[in-house]
Structure 1
Amino acid sequence: MKLVVLGASGWIGSHIVAEAKSRGHEVTALVRNTESYEVSDVTVKHFDLNNSNQDIEPLISDETVFVAAIGGRALGNHEIVAKTASQLLAKLPATSIERLVWVGGAGSLEVAPNVKLLDTPEFPPEYKDEAIAQGQALDVFKDAQATLNWTYISPAAQIYPGDAAREYRIGFEQLLTDASGASKIAVSDYAIAFVDEIEKGQHINKRIGIAY
Structure 2
Amino acid sequence: MKIAVVASNGQVSQLVIKELLSRGHEVTGFARSANRSEAKKFVQKDILALTKEDLAGFDAVVSGFGVLDPALMDNFTKTSQHLADLVAGTKTRLYIVGGAGSLYVDATHKTQLFDTPDFPAEFAPLARAHGAALDALRARKDAAWVYVSPAADFVEDGARTGKYKLGGEELTLSAAGESVISYADYAVGMADLIEAGGHINERISLVQA
Same fold (TM over 0.5): yes
**Partner secondary structure for residue 96 of structure 2:** strand
Tell me whether 1:133 sits opposite 2:129 in the alignment.
Answer: yes
Aligned counterpart, 2:74: 79
Show the counterpart of 1:188. 184
1:107 correspondence with 2:101: yes
Q: Alignment length, in residue pairs?
A: 205
Cα offset, 1:105, TM superposition = 0.5
Q: Any unmatched runs of 5+ in structure 1?
A: none
Cα distance, 1:40–1:173 mapped onto 2, change above 3 Å:
closer
Q: Which residue number in structure 1 is paired with residue 24 of structure 2?
A: 24
- CA shift, 1:59, in A, is 2.1
> For 1:167-188, what per-residue CA distance to the aligned partner results, in whole angstroms no more than 9, with x for missing partners?
1111111101135532001111
Question: Are the aligned partners of 1:100 and 1:149 in contact in 2 as well (CA < 8 Å)?
Answer: yes
Paired position in structure 1 for 2:44: 46
Deviations 1:58-102 (CA, angstroms, capped at 9, x unpaired): 3235322110111221574010111122222222236x6611011
Aligned to 1:164: 160
Give a deviation string over 1:9-58, Cα, whole Å, max 9, x none. Answer: 10111110110011011111111112xx2444521111224xx5x24223
Structure 2: 5+ residue runs without aligned partners?
none
Residues 40 and 115 of structure 1: is their aligned pair in 2 closer, same or farther, counting only changes over 3 Å? closer
- Give the alignment's TM-score, normalised by structure 2: 0.90
In the alignment, is the contact (CA less than 8 A) between 1:47 and 1:56 conserved in 2? no
In the alignment, what sits opposite 2:147?
A: 152
SS at match of 1:188: helix
Contact kept? 2:17, 2:37, Cα under 8 Å? no
User: How far is 1:162 from its partner?
Assistant: 1.5
Partners in 2 of 1:182 and 1:39 — Cα distance? 30
User: Aligned partners of 1:59 and 1:166: how far apart in 2?
Assistant: 32
1:16 maps to amino acid: V
Calculate the aligned-residue CA RMSD, in Å: 1.8
Offset at 1:153? 0.5
